[in-house]
A and B are shown apart, each in its own frame.
Chain A
Amino acid sequence: MFRARRPSAPAVVALTKIAFAWLAVAGASAAAPAPAPQKPGSEAGADDDGRQDASRPQTRRGGPRRPAAPGAAIVLENVRVLRPGEPELDKATIVVRGKRILAVGTKVAVPENARRIDGAGAVVTAGWIDARGETPLDPASADDGAPNAEFRAEDALDLLDREGRMADALSQGIAVSYVAAGRGLQGGTGVLVRLKPGATDAESLTVEEAKALTIVGGFARGFQTVARLTDWANLRRTLRDAQKRREALAQYEEDLEKFLEAKRKGAKTAPRGASETKDKPAETPVRPPVPVPRGRRPPRSEEEREFLAIARILGIPAIVEGRDGGVFLEEGAPEDLTLEVLEGDEDCGCGSPGPHSHHPPGGIAPLYAWQDPSPPRPGDAQPGEKAVERPKRPDFNPGLTLLVSALRREIPVRFEVRRIDEIRAAIALAKEFRLRAVLEGLDEGIHVIDEIAASGFPVVLAPVHDPAAPAASLTLGFEGTASLAAACAKRKIPFAIGTGRGAHTTAWLRAQAAMAVAAGLSREEALAAVTSRAAAILGVDHELGSIRPGAEATLVLFDGDPLDPTTPVRLTLVEGEILYQR
């Protein structure tokens, strides 16, 4: 019934993916005047296993996608290939088939029926990665600054590219962007997004491995010394809570294993839930049984229909109401999970007092909950019989879930830190709790550069363009990034460059890289900071940031020097698709 470790992480992923697939289909059917005939029996155009129907045309900004004949290769010929850390290739050929690079070299056979693109005079690099930007975040979806660990950047993307920011980035050769939306101390999860305007399928858009928990310090959190100190103290306390929870979960898993073992050996077990009722402290009221029975009733609203559709794809017997968009699953959710309805003023049990994100005031919020107790099963002990008790699962706490994953080193933690004191605090916390830390921002990093180097943590140089930040930081931030990049290279600190918080567009990434070169960074290192090194820091170097057979075909063709922002981009390929062509 349970998997030994992080049992439902795949379920969360599945939910996300399916939600996206579903959104994609909904978006497509809303935008396309004449949708292609649907597969009979499939609801809303998605297969039962949640995969999107590949034959379905997708709509996107600026017309339909260039349909690539199945299996037809794209061949870039006569190009100069720049790969940091590897020898430069001249008059080379790159063969792309589907989403991947098939071959790179100077003596590469061109497949038949391939779409050949002559790249005479052009320079090819891997698709540029903005290691911390704002595109394609939808500004309207940015959160409100509350400490909000559940906030997911992937829920706040402007997938349809209404403002044309993705198209803008692609026209400058930027193909991938890491975004984090939260402004709270716990800024939720950030996500790496392939810039594919109008594409809404989660699988091809976001890169799972790059997901990271964001801890926001710096200007976004204000300037008051006391407030900042309180923030870091709170964070440390929360991390300790998460530590305890991690231990409790590990104990639970161990106990459960023992329990199941005993059960397998034929011991009588107590009915599920019995121990919980018994052990519960008196002050914690037991939530009354959910009024909605298991089973199904016809959906009453459009929202319900939407959730029902997702739940059906997931195979969860779900009854969900509400108008808020979230469905929350915790690690370790049982497979017979049932979704439950909570009224607006009811305590959702997450431990946070007052109204909060998944529990808006006055509204009905859809919420997770296990439906316990289960009916007695064969093998359960009868009343009066001596029984092995099923261990009690630690209470759900969405605020700590991510931190527990971070403590298990399953996801990295990005500390957005700008001041000297914050940089030091982040390094100390990351060491104390053995986190996979990435230091980000670092406006004042130059003054503690040796401490950063000694910490061994990689850094993402990203200025802030926040209205609350001191004036002049708009370019000073860039300048700072530039000289900091040179300083990092000197001390062998692995670093990537991002356009930063509040940057309207990622298109300036090229200006930033160029200014870093002017500040003394080598050209190769500058290119690495926006391609291979950025991919490595984001944990996606097996896919992105390099040009080699088997890697993802996310490439840029420049008309000349890539590190001169005035050099036009000729072509941008994302996952084998030509998404920009001049």
Chain B
Amino acid sequence: MRTAEFALAFAFSASSAGEPLDAAPPERLVVKASRIVPSPGKSIPRGVLVIEGGKIAAIGTDLGVPKGARVLDYGDAVVCAGFVNCHTAAGIDGAVTDTTEAFTPAICAADAVERRRRGFDRAAAVGVTTIGFSPDGRNVVGGTAALVKTGPEASVVRREAYLKISLSNAAFDSERFPTSLAGGLGALNRAWKEAGSDPARVKEPGAKILARARAAKGLRPWIEAGDPAVARQVIAMAKDLGFSPVVVAAGDLTEAASELAAAKIPVVVPVPVLDSDRRERRAPAEYAKAGVEIAFCTMGMRNEGSPESLRLGAVLAAATGLDRVAAFAAISTNPAKILGCEAEVGSLDVGRDADLVVFGGEPMNLAAPILAVFASGVPVGGEERRP
């Protein structure tokens, strides 16, 4: 019955699919489910969600249905917020990073986002509705990452979400300066110094980006580190320069976990994959135990092009010691917070984007199928995706 109802709803919406979104009349959509999980660990029984203009207009138990609204009743399903992959380079054909030189602060990943790329489409279809689209770790200063809403209408929400910096081995190349960690650190410190901390006084675009990142406001530096010693270098750098970075774990940094926690530096961790050994799989649990705020990402993984690896990896971490709620938070509220967009995505509340994933069970249970995905109120995936 549910399927028939839904198919009918889509037959209706499909006719208007070709028209621009803003031309369509503001549509009221009501999603009902046996439970809504507004954020990890929270639960609204007999949940009703009212969507207006792509945003959540109301959320609660047994709410009344506004007049003229289309109602999608998912029965005993569970609804949660769309997932956030805060650090990835997947979704487009080709790469963001230009590796001919190691310092490319003026590269803007947003420029590489091409609409209607299948990668973004696929991400949306499996519930990843927001991504931090970023240069990878092969340049010391790779450029700025963009905040992108996925789906067929992939759009850049914020052009400059963070500045990607890398001190992992991937950034050091024997063919190009710098060839070593020491060289990279020296060059990075020089670049910080030259840029200064007042963006208004800098003209050169690259230096301006660095100055803005240093100025603690606006652009947060995300620094990739491959081992604990480098993580400690980042902690020291943050203290010296007075900014608050995010550390991207390109290796096992658990040894420095408590120091990172003390410095209140969040860590972005690639999700465990199938060829991760036990130690790698336990790392997320170790960070969490030390009190580090963690968010999962898929950057640099061999299967990065496969967007479902985000939830799969989070579940696998939960199967190896990480608390289930913490694993859920690491692909929803935490990355949204670290990206600075927690008021829009990562959880469900009035005024936030209507990014929803409808599961036939608990969101963190892999046996639960994805019944539907909505990105800003538009159905984009699941079993009953738009034709």
Contact = CB atoms under 8 A, between A and B. Distances in A.
Interface in B262-295: 273-278
B367 interface: yes
B333 interface: no
B159 to A, nearest CB: 28
Contacts of B319: 172, 507, 510-511, 565-566
B306 A476 contact: yes
A7 interface: no
A511 B366 contact: yes
B72 to A, nearest CB: 20
B369 A502 contact: no
Interface string B299-312: 00111111011001
A514 B273 contact: no
A474 B271 CA distance: 13
B382 to A, nearest CB: 11
A183 interface: no
A471 B302 contact: yes
Interface in A413-472: 465, 471-472
A105 interface: no
A479 interface: yes
How many interface residues does chain A have, given as a range? 35 or more
A480 to B, nearest CB: 11
Contact of B367 (A465, A476, A523): A523
Contacts of B301: 474
B324 interface: yes
Given A474-B309, A475-B308, A566 B303 contact: no
Contact of A472 (B306, B315, B370): B306
Interface in A492-530: 499, 502-505, 507-508, 510-511, 513-515, 517-520, 523, 526
Contacts of B278: 164-165, 168, 505
Nearest to A500: B274
A258 to B, nearest CB: 58
A504 B303 contact: no
B275 A472 contact: no
A471 B366 contact: no
Nearest to A512: B366
B187 interface: no
Contacts of A479: 306, 308
B367 A475 contact: no
A473 interface: yes
A478 B126 CA distance: 14
Nearest to B276: A504
Contacts of B302: 471-472, 474
B316 interface: yes
Interface in A134-175: 163-165, 168, 172
Given A168-B278, A465-B274, A511-B316, A476 B303 contact: yes
B274 A518 contact: no
Given A475-B303, A514-B366, A163 B274 contact: no
Nearest to A473: B303
Interface string B245-274: 000000000000000000000000000011
Question: In this complex, which of A503, A507, A564 has the most chain B Cβ atoms within 10 angstroms of its Cβ?
Answer: A564
Contact of A511 (B276, B312, B369): B312
Contacts of B364: 566
Contact of A518 (B276, B324, B366): B366
A168 to B, nearest CB: 5
Interface in A555-574: 561, 563-566
B315 A518 contact: no
Contacts of A565: 315-316, 318-319, 366
A510 B320 CA distance: 12
A478 B315 contact: no
Interface string A542-582: 00000000000000000001011110000000000000000
B274 A504 contact: yes
A518 B369 contact: yes
A165 B278 CA distance: 8
B366 A475 contact: no
B274 A564 contact: no
B63 interface: no
Contacts of B362: 564
A564 B364 CA distance: 9
Given A471-B305, A507-B319, A565-B319, 18 more contacts: A465-B275, A471-B304, A475-B273, A475-B274, A475-B309, A478-B274, A504-B275, A504-B277, A505-B274, A507-B320, A511-B312, A511-B315, A514-B367, A518-B360, A518-B368, A561-B365, A561-B367, A566-B318
Interface of A: 163-165, 168, 172, 465, 471-476, 478-479, 499, 502-505, 507-508, 510-511, 513-515, 517-520, 523, 526, 561, 563-566
8 contacts: A472-B305, A476-B306, A478-B312, A503-B275, A504-B276, A511-B312, A513-B367, A566-B364
